[in-house]
Amino acid sequence: MSRTSGRTVEGRGRLGSVLSGLAVALGCVLFLGGFAWGAIEYQPYTVPTESMVPTIKAGDRILAQRIDGSDIKRGDVIVFKQKSWGDMLLVKRVVAVGGDTVACCTNGKLTVNGKQIDEPYLAKGQAAESSQIPTVEVPKDRLFLLGDERSGSLDSTAHLTEAFNGTVARSAVKARVDAIAWPMNGMLARPAGFEKLGGISSPGPLRLVLTAIVVGAVLVLGGAAYGPIAKRLVSAAGRGRSSPVPPEASGWGSVEDSSGGGPRKVARVVLLDAEDRILLLHGHEPDDPADDWWFTPGGGLEGDETHEEAALRELVEETGITEVELGPVLWQRSCSFPFAGRRWDQDEWYFLARTTQKGTVAAGLTELERRSVAGARWWTCRELTEAHETVYPTRLAGLLRRLLDEGPPARPEILDTEIV
């Protein structure tokens, strides 16, 4: 592993992890924020009657934006409560507002202020009203309401003999219907026929609310899926780009030929002494000693070795240390990187180990390792934290600090996948 390529591997892995975390965090904000926004802005209702057919049927669940009655315009479908109409929540359409003159019918159409209104939301072939509506002047701050099912709707036409000619006060309005949530018929069509009388209402923020929720869910799922996807990419890289590994590289954390089933299993050792110092090897590019870094002892499994057997064998070959108490697997990591002119794809297990030996003798190095391993050193956690040298994994100082403070994890921690 070259220092440059290794940095790219670790850097991209860490960048991917950071971006993944940001995506999940932003997704949670959007997802939960969208629901909170929707809960503040909208109230669901179940429509009990057929008075708004075909626009809204009995039993439909609607989403109505909480809105002040002063903001209601012609054409809006509203939820309201009028004591003289039964003191229950009702759903009707506003066809005229204070100051308007409404009547029916002229050429089979409703008229407001003398203008004939196109009402495409009525059932095909249905008249604008089943009976004549006398000319009504709507009092200030009141609304004239009709159901879209004109033949049987108990609307303003059924209350013409009451005070205010069957109109309803703006203060009785609870909300304006924006959409049918169930069945999922979507947003209500805007009442364009009333535009000739002035502006009509714009839709509420429901589309933005839904967009926030959907985008948030996508970011959460996408961010959470980063790790598994990246791991699959490592395997794909190993199958598609790895070149055969020469025998002399077998101890150097090597990988199998792609024809052998993808990344080779690698065992590494987090070796601590009685003073809680960690042993690291000093490596470099075979042809460029200035391109150097520090890393944990370890290498690839050989034959039918277990991870534990490979960890102990590699430790003896690379350090000469034999008095070892091998502990549990601390971390697991997948990576793919170029080194010594080849691509290396690895699935690494990091074992905790303890020893009382201090001296090291690298008597079992392969030819490639002799050209790329310069020595070994014991490091304190503080030295690692303050080090300016390149150390792999790059989070090793923080991982070691947590290990010393909290002990081994209950199960192996999956480190960031690293690909270059």
pLDDT tens by residue, 77-123: 999 998 888 878 999 999 999 999 999 888 888 999 999 999 999 98
Q: Which residues, including other chains, have CB under 8 Å from residue 105's CB and lie 6 or more apart?
A: 111, 127, 128, 129, 132, 133
Estimate to the nearest angstrom the gap between the alpha carbon of 71 and the chain centroid.
36
Q: What is the mean pLDDT of the chain?
A: 86
Q: Name the pLDDT band for 48 (thresholds 50, 70, 90).
A: confident
> Tokens 């959007």 identify what position?
30
The CATH number assigned to the domain with range 44-200 reads 2.10.109.10
Q: Name the pLDDT band for 130 (thresholds 50, 70, 90).
A: low
Q: How many percent of the chain have pLDDT more than 90?
A: 59
pLDDT attached to residue 63:
95
Residues of the chain with CATH 3.90.79.10: 264-419
Cross-strand partners of 346: 264, 335
pLDDT attached to residue 6:
45
pLDDT attached to residue 393:
85
Q: For the chain, what's the residue count?
A: 420
* AA identity, residue 273: D
The answer to whether residue 420 scores a pLDDT higher than 80 is no
What are the structure tokens assigned to 212, written together? 């926030």
| CA–CA dist 381, 376 (Å, integer) | 16
Q: Of 169-183, 318-332, 333-347, where does mean pLDDT reach its minimum? A: 333-347
In CATH terms, the superfamily for domain 264-419 is Nucleoside Triphosphate Pyrophosphohydrolase (3.90.79.10)
pLDDT attached to residue 319:
93
Kindly report, residue by residue over 299-332, the tens digit of the pLDDT. Answer: 999 999 999 999 999 999 999 999 999 999 999 9
pLDDT attached to residue 86:
84
Burial code of 335-373, b = ≥16 C-beta within 10 A, e = fewer? bbbbbbebbbbbbbbbbbbebeeeebebeebbebbebbb
Residues of the chain with CATH 2.10.109.10: 44-200
The answer to whether residue 245 scores a pLDDT higher than 70 is no
More confident residue, 340 or 26: 26
Q: Using an 8 Å Cβ cutoff, are 42 and 208 in contact?
A: no
Q: What is the 3-state secondary structure (H, E, C) of the chain?
A: CCHHHHHHHHHHHHHHHHHHHHHHHHHHHHHHHHHHHHHHHEEEEECCCCCCCCCCCCCCEEEEEECCHHHCCCCCEEEEECHHHCCCEEEEEEEEECCCEEEEEECCEEEECCEECCCCCCCCCCCCCCCCEEEEECCCCEEEEECCCCCCCCCHHHHCCCHHHHCEEHHHEEEEEEEEEECCCEECCCCHHHHHHCCCCCCCCHHHHHHHHHHHHHHHHHHHCHHHHHHHHHHHHHHHHCCCCCHHHCCCCCCCCHHHCCCEEEEEEEEECCCCCEEEEEEEECCEEEEEEEECCEEECCCCCCHHHHHHHHHHHHHCCCCEEEEEEEEEEEEEEEECCEEEEEEEEEEEEEECCCCCCCCCCCHHHHHHEEEEEEECHHHHHHCCCCEECCCHHHHHHHHHHHCCCCCCEECCCEEC
What are the structure tokens assigned to 274, written together? 């009685």
What are the structure tokens assigned to 330, written together? 């601390």
Q: Using an 8 Å Cβ cutoff, are 220 and 27 in contact?
A: yes
Report, as residue numbers or ranges, the catalytic residues.
Answer: 51, 92
Q: What is the mean pLDDT of residues 222-232?
A: 71
pTM for the complete prediction?
Answer: 0.54
CA dihedral 209, 210, 211, 217 (to 10 degrees): 110
pLDDT attached to residue 307:
96
The sign of the CA dihedral 249, 251, 256, 262 is: negative
Q: Name the pLDDT band for 261 (thresholds 50, 70, 90).
A: low
Q: What is the mean pLDDT of residues 24-32?
A: 93
pLDDT attached to residue 160:
87
pLDDT attached to residue 206:
92
Q: Name the pLDDT band for 353 (thresholds 50, 70, 90).
A: very high
Q: Which residues, including other chains, have CB under 8 Å from residue 183's CB and lie 6 or more apart?
A: 60
Q: How many percent of the chain have pLDDT more than 70?
A: 87
Kindly report, residue by residue over 183-214, the tens digit of the pLDDT. Answer: 888 899 989 999 999 889 998 999 999 999 99
